[in-house]
Amino acid sequence: MSCLAAYTWSRNSADYKNEVEYVIGVSQANVREAWRIALNQEIEEEVKKYPNINIITTDATSEPEKQKQDIDKLLEFGIDLLIISPCDTGKLTEKIKDVFQGNIPVIVMDRGIEGFDYSLFIGPDNDMIGRQAGEWVVQLLDGQGGRVLKLCGNSGSIQSQERIKGFDSVVMDYPQIETSTFNMDTELKDKAYDAVLSMKGSLKEIHVIFANCDYVAQGAYEALESMGMEKGIQIVGSDGLNGKDGGVDMVMQGKIAATITCPTGGREAIQYAYSILRQESGVPKQVILRSRTITKGNAAQYLESLEKECFDKGETITVGYSQVGQESQWRLANTHSIQEAAREFNVDLLFDDADQSQDKQIAAIRRFIEEKVDVIVVSPVVETGWDEALMEAKAAGIPVVMSDRKAETDEKDLITTYIGADFLEEGRRAMRWIRDNIPSGGKVLNILELKGNQGASPTLERRKGFVEVLQECPGYQIAYSEYGDFTYDGGKRIVEGYLERGGWDVDIIFAHNDDMALGAVEALEDYGIVPGEDVKIISVDGTSDVFRAIIAGKINCTVECNPLLGPPLMKAIRDMVAGKEMPVRIITEEKVYDQSQAEEVINQRAY
Ligand code: AHR
């Protein structure tokens, strides 16, 4: 094969740069796996809708070195944007960073890379795919219990491990369900066939097979069929590709009971690429795609929905927004961003400030329903207690989006999407910074934790992420922890209270937000303790006030939590009203700042 044969142009290659406005390079990990072929096809289909875009596709044949060369070739061709589905994220991180820093936007697909040196990540939530499979298996067994065989295609891949982890997390709550695992090193159908055939004797005990990819499910089905056992054992697969013998087709043929879709994101990649190339506002940092559980009952409807074309008619959209309150600088910046973006995106905003009261938020949701808004957005003060109000919104046919903070519901499908930060990761980053910058020197350092408000998702998740890393660091311990409600006064009060009890033994303060950290600084100074030196302070948010405190040496580090959610939120709302499938999560970009960069970047801070 000649070298050029490995590159595919979507249109006439001779004049590709003259005919079109934008050339997008698509660097694919391989074109052997069905899922990747589907991703390429989806990209090609979507690109047909944009006469001013051309694509060039390369196949890295699963070789990281080849993928790096492919990228160089694409750059030589003069691409305007790179879409990459990396074959090895570790080995390609640096290359992707170089391209991004060379001012070519990069969309990373499917497998996340370390850091934030790319424009956008689009991928599935494999843990959730596993959980959805687990929920369906529980339903198949009808609460009776039974035996489940987990057939793992490629047990070494992170994707497989996450799917199995998610599956186990659901099934473990049902002690009457017994599971066993068979690990294969490959996702080849024939290997799955042989594996299931070799288990003939023990299969009589099995009620359901969970295959963590549809190829494996197909092999399992054919083996059962060859032994006349296909009626007695149900199969749940995952990937849900459409096309002949894809997961959805197998469900429709009755070969497998269900498949959980793992969307390729090809369509979204082109749509976002177009927005990036046109420098539109509202492009987030990460888009986590929604997986669907496909059964015989909804397979045809699902296929129809894939065909649907979506148009934004540009009409004014009415949005009811329930804001949690005005507790912090972050919140003020967040409110400002939402109100500004509403104007930019032609959204008529009914804004309600709940002053930290869940009751007021529920009353606002009900008012929005009465006023027949198109979309309701809530930044929920606490995570739980929303089911009733959200069910009323669902009954009224009004989609609900969670912005900034998350809500947990017992009922399914009450929340259309979540847009905001990754609080768990923020907590991890805070503790990683402590581990890497404040050596414990053989002692155990005491941490004072200033928590946000009780029951709020940033409080719960920042703590969880922080503790997760802390557990691996024997030189640190949380000596004291209290809720400061994300306010300046809350942070000040906790530190004063601790000081008044006598015997200051704190080495580090971890504040769940900047306002509490600044309150703590004031309290410490009043007592003659030097913040930033005698006690190190790490907070979350990245507001300008804290940047100034970092430069003054009073705070040591802030983990960014981006409040500028207005543009991505309004973009998502317009897309949703136009009929586009909503991702499960839309995540914003966030960095960590300390004394080494604060001075350099303070003037670029937007809040
Ligand atoms: O929900 C986001 C958190 O709420 C911010 O970190 C904090 O400052 C705010 O009040």
Q: pLDDT tens digits for 1-36? A: 333 334 555 543 444 455 689 999 999 999 988 888
The answer on 585 and 552 residing in a single domain is: no
The candidate with the shortest Cα–Cα distance to 365, out of 355, 380, 383, is 380
Question: Can you give 139-207 as a three-state secondary structure string?
Answer: HHCCCCCEEEEEEECCCCCHHHHHHHHHHHHHHCCCCCEEEEEEECCCCCHHHHHHHHHHCHHHHCCCC
Query: Does 55 fall in a domain?
Result: yes
The answer on 537 and 498 residing in a single domain is: yes
Which atom of ligand 1 is found nearest the CA of 325? 10
pTM of the model: 0.88
Residue after which a domain boundary falls, among 261, 276, 293: 261
Cα-to-centroid distance, 532 and ligand 1 (Å): 22
Q: What are phi and psi of 89, to 5 degrees?
A: -65, -40
Cα-to-centroid distance, 404 and ligand 1 (Å): 8
Cα-to-centroid distance, 332 and ligand 1 (Å): 10
d(Cα 296, Cα 300) in Å, to the nearest integer? 8
The answer on 547 and 456 residing in a single domain is: yes
Contact predicate 580/310, CB 8 Å:
yes
pLDDT in tens, 298-308: 999 999 988 88
The answer on 374 and 257 residing in a single domain is: no
The answer on 569 and 523 residing in a single domain is: no
pLDDT in tens, 325-383: 999 999 999 999 999 999 999 999 999 999 999 999 999 999 999 999 999 999 999 99
pLDDT of 18 reads 56
Query: Does 607 fall in a domain?
Result: no
d(Cα 473, Cα 475) in Å, to the nearest integer? 6
Which atom of ligand 1 is found nearest the CA of 512? 6
Where do we find the tokens 């070969």?
A: 255
Query: Does 57 fall in a domain?
Result: yes
Q: What's the rounded mean pLDDT across residues 566-577?
A: 94
pLDDT of 2 reads 31
Query: Does 283 fall in a domain?
Result: no
Cα-to-centroid distance, 375 and ligand 1 (Å): 23
Which atom of ligand 1 is found nearest the CA of 457? 1
For ligand 1, atom 3, name the residue with the nearest CA.
Answer: 458
The enclosing H or E element of 107 equals strand 106-109
Query: Does 602 fall in a domain?
Result: no
Query: Does 353 fall in a domain?
Result: yes
The answer on 113 and 8 residing in a single domain is: yes
Domain extent at residue 20: 3-118
Cα-to-centroid distance, 546 and ligand 1 (Å): 14
The answer on 222 and 138 residing in a single domain is: yes
Q: How many CB atoms lie within 10 A of CB 222?
A: 18
The answer on 16 and 67 residing in a single domain is: yes
Cα-to-centroid distance, 26 and ligand 1 (Å): 38
CATH of the domain at 69: 3.40.50.2300
In the structure encoding, which two tokens stand for residue 270, read together? 């082109």
Contact predicate 88/64, CB 8 Å:
yes
The answer on 497 and 465 residing in a single domain is: yes
pLDDT in tens, 247-288: 999 999 999 999 999 999 999 999 999 999 999 888 899 999
The answer on 427 and 417 residing in a single domain is: no
CA end-to-end span of the chain: 55
Confidence of residue 477 (pLDDT cuts 50, 70, 90): very high
Which atom of ligand 1 is found nearest the CA of 405? 1
Sheet holding 258-261: strands in order across? Answer: 177-183, 146-152, 208-211, 234-239, 258-261, 293-295
Contact predicate 131/167, CB 8 Å:
yes
The answer on 464 and 375 residing in a single domain is: no
Residue after which a domain boundary falls, among 69, 85, 118: 118
Cα-to-centroid distance, 512 and ligand 1 (Å): 8
Rama region for 403: left / alpha / beta (φ>0; ψ in -120 to 50; rest): beta
The candidate with the shortest Cα–Cα distance to 417, out of 554, 219, 272, 284, is 284
Mutate to test the pocket of ligand 1, among 327, 328, 355 (most ligand atoms within 8 A of CB): 328
Question: How many domains does the chain contain in total?
Answer: 4
Cα–chain center distance at 275: 20
Burial 404-433 (b: 16+ CB within 10 A, else e): bbbbebeeeebbbbbbbbbbbbbbbbbbbb
Q: Which residues line ligand 1 (CB under 6 A)?
A: 327-328, 330-331, 404-405, 458, 486, 513, 540-541, 561
Query: Does 472 fall in a domain?
Result: yes
The answer on 252 and 149 residing in a single domain is: yes
